[in-house]
Amino acid sequence: MGVEDNQFQIENLTSNTSFFDWYTKTNDEIISKLNKLKIYDIDVAGSLAEGISAERGTSGGHAAGFLNLGVADSIPHGLAISGDVSINGSQSFFHIATAATAGLTGKFVCVDSSGGITACNAGTAGITTTPFHKNESIGIVKSIVGNTVEIVGSGYFDEFAGLTAGQAYFLDPTVPGGYTLNAPTVAGQTKKRVFISTMGATTGVIQIGESTVLT
């Protein structure tokens, strides 16, 4: 293969190179290789809109002459992944609340009958007359901006407090949306594991378990 191969390397001339060799290398290799080069402009804004982070290297940023590509923080379309996926961190989703959300940050929540969210309840009041039982949970609230609520439904969560490492924690029957190391034991209350603590006092792995109403 010749200059049409993108791995083709133009060898150096030597002190024994004749003028004809120099002439041939210049025309057949150097000029031919340069003529095949094409520089494309990069639509940085357009790339970002499609979920690709693209940045041209400059003297004031990344090294000049390099094109830096990556996955954008937000991907505006679905992804099809073939193979294993490893996630280092939590898995969260966003819920648009239709009612007040004050005081729900750091609480385990469930969906209510109006389409909003409310704090879970493992007490006897958690069993309701509607299908929206409060002893169920869709996860723990990580943040609230306006009426947009970020909820972590699985994976690591590092904003707990006062945990004992390596223990299962349950939905608290006395504090709405809270968690407790002591599993409920009173009839009518709900025993529901919500996470397992890891190392330290603030980190756990969200694992929403089944709701068992004690008798």
**Residue 125 included in any domain:** yes
pLDDT at 15 over 70: yes
**Residue 179 included in any domain:** yes
**Residue 84 included in any domain:** no
- Report how many domains make up the chain: 1
Return the structure tokens found at 204.
């756990």
Q: CA distances (Å), 166 to each of 59, 139, 182, 194, in order?
A: 50, 20, 14, 13
Instruction: Return the ∠ at Cα 181 (arms to 148 and 186), rounded to 5°.
Output: 100
**Residue 187 included in any domain:** yes
Write the pLDDT tens digit of every residue in 179-214.
999 999 999 999 999 999 998 899 999 999 999 999
13 compared with 151, residue with greater pLDDT: 151
Q: Among 60-69, 156-165, 166-175, 202-211, whose mean pLDDT is lowest? A: 60-69
Residue range(s) defining the domain that contains residue 180: 90-213
- Whole-angstrom distance, CA of residue 51 vs CA of residue 48: 5
pLDDT at 177 over 90: yes
Q: What mean pLDDT value characterizes the chain?
A: 84
Find the radius of gyration of the CA atoms of the chain: 30
- Whole-angstrom distance, CA of residue 105 vs CA of residue 123: 20
**Residue 31 included in any domain:** no
**Residue 21 included in any domain:** no
**Residue 138 included in any domain:** yes
- Whole-angstrom distance, CA of residue 201 vs CA of residue 163: 4
Write the pLDDT tens digit of every residue in 110-138.
988 777 888 999 988 777 767 788 899 99
Amino acid at 210: E
**Residue 131 included in any domain:** yes
